[in-house]
Structure 1
Amino acid sequence: MMNTIMKPALLLALMSPVALQAQKTALPKQITVQGKVKFAVPPGQPNKIWLSRDMGTGKPVVVDSTVLGDDLTYTFKIKQDHPGIYKLNIMYWDHISFWSDADVKISSRGYDTAKMKMKIPHFYFVEGSSDNNFINQMELNGTNGYLRMIEEYNEEYFAKQHKEKGGDSAWASYLATRKRYNPLREDAAQRQEVLMKIYEDRPVLIYALRSMAGTESKEKYAEALTKLDNLIKKYPWLTEAKDMKATILKNKAQAMKLQPGQPVPTISYPDELGQVQGLEQYKGKYLLIDFWASWCGPCRQAIPKVKELYAQYKDKGFDVVSVSIDTDKKAWRKAMEDEKMPWKQLLSDDKDKTMEQFQFSGIPTLYVVDPQGKIVSKHTGYGPGTEAEIKAIMEKGTTAKPAGERKVIPAMAM
């Protein structure tokens, strides 16, 4: 009887760690994705659904597509060598992420039936595994934070409008003195931190680490690298963690080249006449490089303010060059005609390369360059604080930042 009991134990003890790990992970080689939307697009509009895989580099790759059925459902069969993050683009209206460690069922809104269509995020729910609950909670946290910021902005905007029309100014004055957005950001960050702590040993954590690996997340690189090293050690099959680590190290190295005092990167882009231009022609002047796009609302809002700066300092050794990351040339040309910017206009021929070279993920992003062609400062979004810094550089030759919280025209994330 003793021998009968000991044989399985002895066999287990002799099993290699690799074999035990393989048993433990039991990676699914195929899963089924079943989805249903509440509202279909009107006839004549695209009812296509795209499936992409997030490879950990920030550039999802489309792997399959289908069309929405008459019963408002769709299905995908995914073959894989290990689980990872997949994304669904549903008729351009819903953008849904999920973890592929089990069959999943997804319910989403689909077409926006509201009279005013704002393309705001729609909350969705993914059923299938506990790891997908992590993504569900992360998405709800992000969506609610975004909507609360919109509410805060609208309240401030309408209070200001009411004041300008002769109404009660007390409320507008009160709102103007409050640091209203910082608490919202801090609340969202704290919620995310708790979620990441709960799932810190799960491979799906990589979903949250994406937000710590971008070009605007330099202060989070060290923490992200530590967490990625832990995932790589625990899940050797998680190639996305290795790719993300490589991306962070690459961004970190490029960011060092963009510090104040470093020479501005060399560019060569076509202007509105199709002639290739660089930045060499601006040597001897202070230069403001404005990265923008025709579809970017905050960029368009900032243009009148940049025009004021240009008019004030153009005769004092100051110039501006706008670099568009538009992929639609007609839209770019139409925006140039509408805005009538009196400085040079360039069009990036590879927006991803430009965003990587200058390390930004939201626009408008602006760089101030001195007469020697060296970087003075970088700004994401535009507002009084940005304007004050640029004026200080021009008038005093200083890069000192004004005290207090900045109220900026926020950048639009890519």
Structure 2
Amino acid sequence: MKIQKPSATRMLFITVVCASILIGVYVGLRDYGETGADVTGASGSSVTIDIGGQRFVRWDEPRPLPALSFQDQDGKTVSLENFYGRVVLLNVWATWCPPCRKEMPSLDRLNAKRGGQDFEVVALSIDHDPSAVLPFYREIGIKTLRGYFDSNARASAALGAFAVPATLLIDKSGREIGRALGPAEWDSAAVETLIEQALSSPFNND
């Protein structure tokens, strides 16, 4: 069988996308102080946790998040408020992002194991064409993740997620516990410990 080589234009596109991701990750790591040690920022200090080959920056105090809205797979507008009372792992991703493809199965495994009334993995796609997402799920065998869409990238920009994948752990009160930039093994024991700690924290809906 003859294997067709990718065109020069497609290779250039892939190279530009990958370079953009790497630059965004570098800027994000710089801005969020992922140095492997405690850092101090405007909103307090943080600690870096190894979550199986990736670094997760956990804030000493959960940080408030801006009001966000995006679409679900039924075409309804939802916001973070719809998830109050539950712990959320919010993953900002795109179908054209190779690192996103790499980590997506682990997010699905985590959601299959822990998803329910108290916890959900919210995979928020920034694809301009939302119709590409569910076929992508089928292609790579995703079974439990729902489709959530931020096609204008306003929500991800408000989160400061300027590169994909970017993943935020959000507590039951809608505050950011911490985040990771780049792909990770999200069904690792270290991540489950973070989720357990978040689930044990009280819900404050003031």
TM-score normalised by the shorter chain: which range applies?
0.5 to 0.7
What is the TM-score normalised by the length of structure 1? 0.34
> Which residue does 1:342 correspond to in 2?
144
Distance in 2 (alpha carbons) for counterparts of 1:369 and 1:381: 17
Deviation above 4 Å: which 4+ runs of structure 1?
90-95, 210-213
> Which residue does 1:286 correspond to in 2?
87
Tell me the secondary structure at the aligned position of residue 377 of structure 1: strand
Distance in 2 (alpha carbons) for counterparts of 1:302 and 1:213: 19
Distance in 2 (alpha carbons) for counterparts of 1:321 and 1:273: 14
> Which residue does 1:176 correspond to in 2?
none
Paired AA for residue 126 in structure 2: I
- Quick one: which of 374, 377, 382 aligns to 2:183? 382
> Which residue does 2:203 correspond to in 1?
none
Between Structure 1 and Structure 2, the one with more helix by share is: 1
- 1:376 Cα deviation from its structure 2 partner: 1.0
- Quick one: which of 155, 159, 166 aligns to 1:365? 166
> Which residue does 2:102 correspond to in 1?
301
- Quick one: which of 53, 64, 77 aligns to 1:263? 64
Preserved CA contact (<8 Å) 1:287 1:319: yes
Paired AA for residue 96 in structure 2: W
- 1:219 Cα deviation from its structure 2 partner: 6.4
- 1:120 Cα deviation from its structure 2 partner: 4.6
Preserved CA contact (<8 Å) 1:365 1:378: yes
- 1:378 Cα deviation from its structure 2 partner: 0.2
Distance in 2 (alpha carbons) for counterparts of 1:324 and 1:278: 14
What is the TM-score normalised by the length of structure 2? 0.64
Distance in 1 (alpha carbons) for counterparts of 2:117 and 2:9: 51
- 1:377 Cα deviation from its structure 2 partner: 1.4
Distance in 1 (alpha carbons) for counterparts of 2:15 and 2:195: 39
Q: Deviations over 1:110-156 (max 9, x none)?
A: xxxxxxxxx458xxxxxxxxxxxxxxxxxxxx9xxx9xxxxxxxxxx
Distance in 1 (alpha carbons) for counterparts of 2:109 and 2:187: 13
Q: Which runs of 5+ in 2 are unaligned?
A: 1-6, 34-40, 46-57, 200-206
Quick one: structure 1 residues 393 and 219, their matched pair in 2 at CA, closer, same or farther if it must change by over 3 Å?
A: closer
Quick one: structure 1 residues 313 and 305, their matched pair in 2 at CA, closer, same or farther if it must change by over 3 Å?
A: same
Quick one: structure 1 residues 343 and 281, their matched pair in 2 at CA, closer, same or farther if it must change by over 3 Å?
A: farther
Paired AA for residue 178 in structure 2: S
Distance in 2 (alpha carbons) for counterparts of 1:281 and 1:267: 10
Q: Deviations over 1:303-344 (max 9, x none)?
A: 221122222222572111111010123322421343444243
Between Structure 1 and Structure 2, the one with more strand by share is: 2
Q: Deviations over 1:167-190 (max 9, x none)?
A: xxxxxxxxxxxxxxxxxxxxxxxx
Distance in 1 (alpha carbons) for counterparts of 2:162 and 2:62: 22
Structure number with bigger Rg: 1
- Quick one: which of 30, 35, 39 aligns to 1:217? 30
Distance in 1 (alpha carbons) for counterparts of 2:25 and 2:142: 38
Q: Deviations over 1:256-300 (max 9, x none)?
A: 9x9551123321112222111112122111111111111222212
Bigger relative contact order, structure 1 or 2 (CA pairs below 8 A, ≥6 apart): 2
Quick one: structure 1 residues 211 and 277, their matched pair in 2 at CA, closer, same or farther if it must change by over 3 Å?
A: closer
Quick one: structure 1 residues 211 and 302, their matched pair in 2 at CA, closer, same or farther if it must change by over 3 Å?
A: closer
Tell me the secondary structure at the aligned position of residue 195 of structure 2: helix
Quick one: structure 1 residues 216 and 332, their matched pair in 2 at CA, closer, same or farther if it must change by over 3 Å?
A: same
Preserved CA contact (<8 Å) 2:25 2:182: no
Superposed CA RMSD: 3.9
Distance in 1 (alpha carbons) for counterparts of 2:119 and 2:168: 13
Distance in 1 (alpha carbons) for counterparts of 2:95 and 2:25: 28
Tell me the secondary structure at the aligned position of residue 217 of structure 1: helix
Distance in 1 (alpha carbons) for counterparts of 2:26 and 2:127: 24
Distance in 2 (alpha carbons) for counterparts of 1:211 and 1:270: 25
Quick one: structure 1 residues 325 and 253, their matched pair in 2 at CA, closer, same or farther if it must change by over 3 Å?
A: farther
Preserved CA contact (<8 Å) 2:90 2:168: yes
Tell me, yes or no, if structure 1 residue 330 matches structure 2 residue 131. Answer: yes
Amino-acid identity (%): 20
> Which residue does 1:243 correspond to in 2?
none
